[in-house]
Amino acid sequence: MNYKKLITELINNPLVTENDITLATEGHGDFALPCFKYARELRKAPQVIASDFASNLSERDFIDHVEVAGGYLNFYLSRKARVEAVLADCADKTSIKAVRAENAGKTVCIDYSSINIAKPFHIGHLMSTAIGGSLYRIFKYLGWNAVGINHLGDWGTQFGKLLAAYNEWGDKSRPLTLNDMLALYVRFTEESEKNPELAERGRTEFLKIERGEPEAVKTYELFKETTLAEVNKVYDRLGIKFDSYNGEAFYNDKMEPIIDELNAKALTEVSDGALVVKLDEFGMPPCLITRSDGATLYATRDLAAANYRADTYRFDKSLYVVATQQNLHFKQVFKVLELMGREWAKDLTHVQFGMVSYEGKPLSTRHGHVVFLADVIQNTVDKAKAIIEEKNPVLEDKDEIAENVGVGAVMFFALGTGRIKDVDFAYDKVLSFEGETAPYLQYTHARCRSVLAKGGDIGEVDCSLLTDDDSYAVIRHLDSYADTVRDSASKYEPSVIARYLIDLAQLYNRFYISGRIITEDKKLTFARLALTKAVADTLKEGMALLLINAPEKM
């Protein structure tokens, strides 16, 4: 319910807008209007203004009473009416539907995960995959048309090297794996240092791919398919989806018009043989467009990609979920697009995130400390299985539940903290049933479901039975669900939902231990079951936005 709006209407004074109404501090009702800022204009003390507003309030059936305290006008809502409104809203989703109606017809492009072909899919990719995958679900949930894009790193001279290595040493008698490709690449790097002829062969093989020679292209496609087949297994497990896998190679024939336009608009300069857009006046180093040998760069491809997305999807927003390290790259690309006169450049956002370490150790692909994402997921699921065996050995479908708990734990790890913070992955932490974790949310949800199963059908609910402090605290929190999801979308922060769900679970657990739910008193039972159902449904829906499944039993 949008009480801020209702209260503003009630006050009915042109000076007072919705944003002036705040949530009341503990013990001062539900909402408050601080009246200090009107003192100048109205030439009255804030306290007097608050009492004037109070005595002029119109119809007030959703308000129990108001109170003037200092310069504040405090609103105490009628708890019963609010309980009624919140339970109805949870059942028919009126507030979420209203948000969806506002967003109908809007499109957001989300570039996420964006892995590199023939490179390991390691835990460093978790953040982009999880944050982007979650934002994709959040925007869709809020009525947007979301386009998930995996901007594959599938172009570059390394593919020539890999091709040369594969031709030389590859075992063609059995299917290629991602690990084979890594090994071949490492071997090529080592041997080509001693053998210049080999290095040369890497360059010629790349030229063959560039020229589209069938044999070379076939093997290059094999590298791509092999990588995607392995990576897709992880995506499937995590519930991650894409609408497009157009990667860097897709833009090979789409850069020339961009380069021509940059030249025509006199934005480029030649510097040491390279073509660049100088950005000194914006405090940035030049953006490289082509190297002295004419080769295009990562930035050139992103310029083409941004234009392609604008033309193809006509987006309202276009997001890039990429680590903070690429901050400068995106600033440069966005600036160049602005200089080209693209009015949609303002709709591009780099959604950044911090670094991941693993069990206290920093990750470095170069120094061989590679932790594969698939292994982390499998280990977490195995450990979840062991915990379940210990806690609840008679549970049915243990494997499926362990899968949900393990994957959920990894997802909450990635999404539970503000994006920008560095985070450390530790099995004990992510699998704790008591901390701020997915298992805690899943356990609370399963607890609700088990109460509901025991309680049976819910008869007519008397909302006045849910106005005590513990029940009402849950109701108040449920009331801010739609706003919270909207807020998380506007900040590109799944952690806002994570925080909300942890608070909801904590408030529910406080309610749960404060009194029995199923008792002789039928009316009280119905009311408490109705609250339990609203919490269970909200937890489940919110967790889905964080790519966390909510098993019925645990």
**Residues at the site binding ligand ARG, with contacts judged by CB under 6 A:** 111, 114, 116, 151, 153, 302, 305, 320, 322
Distance CA 511, CA 505 (A): 10
Dihedral sign for Cα atoms in the order 206, 207, 213, 215: negative
Residue of 4, 125, 151, 224 with catalytic role? 125
Structure tokens, 388? 């379940």
Element (H, E) at 10: helix 3-11
445 included as an active-site residue: no
Q: Which of 4, 122, 161, 224 is catalytic?
A: 122
**CA–CA distance, 48 with 57 (Å, rounded to integer):** 14
Q: Is 125 a catalytic residue?
A: yes
Dist CA 323 CA 200 (whole Å)? 34
Contact 444, 505 (CB under 8 A): yes
Which is nearer to ligand ARG, 332 or 380 (by Cβ)? 332
Minimum separation from the CB atom of position 318 to ligand ARG (A): 10
Beta carbon nearer to ligand ARG, 117 or 262: 117
Is 119 labeled as catalytic in the residue annotation? yes
Query: 392-398: which pairs have CB atoms within 8 A and are 24 or more residues apart?
Result: 392/554, 395/553, 395/554, 396/553, 397/551, 397/553
Catalytic residue among 80, 93, 106, 119: 119
Minimum gap (Å) between residue 371 Cβ and ligand ARG: 16
Burial of 467 (0-12, 13-18, 19+ CB in 10 A): middle
The set of residues, in sequence order, having a beta carbon less than 8 Å from that of 61 and lying 6+ positions away, is 78, 81
Quote the CA–CA distance of 100 and 485 in Å, as a whole number: 12
Judged by CB, which is closer to ligand ARG: 197, or 253? Answer: 253
Which tokens sit at 155? 């172009």
- Mark out the alpha helices in 276-419 (DSSP H runs): 298-313, 327-339, 373-391, 398-415
Q: Using the minimum distance from each CB to ligand ARG, give the nearer residue, 89 or 111.
A: 111
- Taking the C-alpha atoms of residue 490 and residue 508, their distance in angstroms, rounded to an integer, is 27
Nearer to ligand ARG, 111 or 205 (CB): 111
- According to DSSP, residue 434 is labeled S
Q: Nearest approach, Cβ of 309 to ligand ARG (angstroms)?
A: 10
Closer by beta carbon to ligand ARG, 15 or else 295: 295
CA distance 137 to 140: 5
Q: CB-wise, 302 or 479, nearer to ligand ARG?
A: 302
Nearest to 490 by CA among 52, 73, 99: 99
Give the catalytic positions in this structure.
119, 122, 125
